[in-house]
Amino acid sequence: MTEPKLKQDPSKLPNPEVLETFVKNKNGRIYQVIPHKTKKGIVLLRINNAYIEKPFVKVKQEIVDGKWSAINEHEYRDWIRKDHEYMVDLSERLVKRVMFSQLLLELDDSFEKDFQDNKHFKNVLERSKKQCERLITSQYDRLYDTDKTYVTNFMNSIDGFITTCSKLGIDDFIHLNETIADYVKNPEKYQAETVELTQLDA
């Protein structure tokens, strides 16, 4: 699908592609204009992960009315940089959420025999499993198929870390936190030690 044409003044921007796909509100917020994949004549105004659905003719009229204006090259580059940083951060958080949900799902499965006579806990586990399954359906498989080695080692490391932490007392966490802080300050000191990764066939 071709990008929508906003018909703004080309003299305001050095890049026609920027002219056709971005608008700036009076409050200074910049939105990317994306054609809707299934609805004819509808566009989505995107900023970060928020989408506003509008008829394209209305957006064009609002440009004429002065509600929207063009952006310059500096604003475009700044928007792209911030958007990229946001999307990378969002993607990383979503990947972590999917992986943690998978770990939680596996842990919940391990509790079924232990609490088979406890109706309350069984109900809690069932609700937890349903929530996790909604999050990881197809997403975890997609991650696993993309990089089996990375996902497996990440899961094993997190599972091992949580298992170790579950054995610690309150006082131990104070020392553990200091050790982790020291690692963050000087990771090379610890990374010099060889770590054996689980290797999987491609």
DSSP for the chain, written as a single string? -PPPP----GGG-S-HHHHHHEEEETTS-EEEEEE-SSSTTEEEEEETTEEEEEEHHHHHHHHHTTSEE---HHHHHHHHHHHHHHHHHHHHHHHHHHHHHHHHHHHHHHHTTTTTT-HHHHHHHHHHHHHHHHHHTTHHHHHHHH-HHHHHHHHHHHHHHHHHHTT--HHHHHHHHHHHHHHHH-HHHHHTS--PPPP---
**Co-location of 60 and 113 in the same domain:** no
User: How would you write the pLDDT of the chain (202 residues) with one tens digit per residue?
Assistant: 455 555 544 444 444 555 568 999 989 999 999 989 899 999 999 999 899 999 999 988 998 899 998 888 888 889 989 999 998 888 888 888 887 888 888 888 888 888 888 889 888 888 888 888 877 777 777 777 777 888 888 888 888 888 888 888 888 888 888 888 888 888 888 777 666 767 766 5
Quote the pLDDT of residue 183.
86
Quote the pLDDT of residue 1.
40
- Count of other CB atoms within 10 angstroms of residue 70: 19
**Co-location of 100 and 167 in the same domain:** yes
**Co-location of 66 and 104 in the same domain:** no
Residue at 200 is within a domain: no
**Co-location of 184 and 98 in the same domain:** yes
Query: What's the CA gap between 116 and 119, in Å, rounded?
Result: 7
Quote the pLDDT of residue 5.
54
Domain assignment of residue 142, given as a range: 93-191
Say how many domains are in the chain: 2
**Co-location of 107 and 181 in the same domain:** yes
Write down how long the chain is.
Answer: 202
**Co-location of 115 and 156 in the same domain:** yes
Residue at 88 is within a domain: no
Quote the pLDDT of residue 113.
82
Quote the pLDDT of residue 74.
87
**Co-location of 119 and 184 in the same domain:** yes
**Co-location of 183 and 128 in the same domain:** yes
Would you say the pTM of this structure is higher than 0.95? no
Write the secondary structure of 101-138 as one string of H (helix), E (strand) and C (coil).
HHHHHHHHHHHCCCCCCCHHHHHHHHHHHHHHHHHHCC
Residue at 120 is within a domain: yes
**Co-location of 15 and 66 in the same domain:** yes
